[in-house]
Amino acid sequence: MSLEQSSKAGEHPWSTRELLEECLSRHGHTRGIVAARQALERVRVGADSPPETLLRLRLVEAGHPEPELQARLDPDDPVSPVTDLAYRRRKVAVQYDGAHHFEAEQQASDEWRDGAFRRDGWTVVRANRVDFREDFIGVVARVSVLLLS
């Protein structure tokens, strides 16, 4: 799960960046502290799952800018549909579909969300556990084409 995960809202964080930084500062010479500090630099608030975070990291490692996390189609509308990752300027929405996305009700919700983005001119790229197992190579390639076109 992400640093401040709580089912899309981020209302019940497990911790905060400040608390993690404080904890790391108290363990100046502990084995692994350098790696922990480097990892904290890559933490972003907003991802709902570890695969979303790994997908974001793969996109950034491919040379793309940081995507917007939990991006609303209309940022001013609190009930507007949300995508996991977004490149708003290029209108590219990226969704990671975990296991619960294969339930009928969730699929209907996902179709509604994706349709709303598409009607507004966005391209929706969806990823799942197969992409995860392949380290998101294909997803990064698809997003790269969209961002560079």
Q: Set out the domains of the chain in order of their start, with CATH numbers.
A: 1-45 (no CATH), 47-148 (3.40.960.10)
The structure tokens listed for 60 are 């950034």
- Whether the CB-CB separation of 75 and 68 falls below 8 Å is answered with no
Q: Which of 28-32, 38-42, 43-47, 135-139 has the lowest mean pLDDT?
A: 38-42
- Whether the CB-CB separation of 13 and 6 falls below 8 Å is answered with yes
Task: Please write the tens of the pLDDT for every residue from 55-65.
Answer: 999 999 999 99
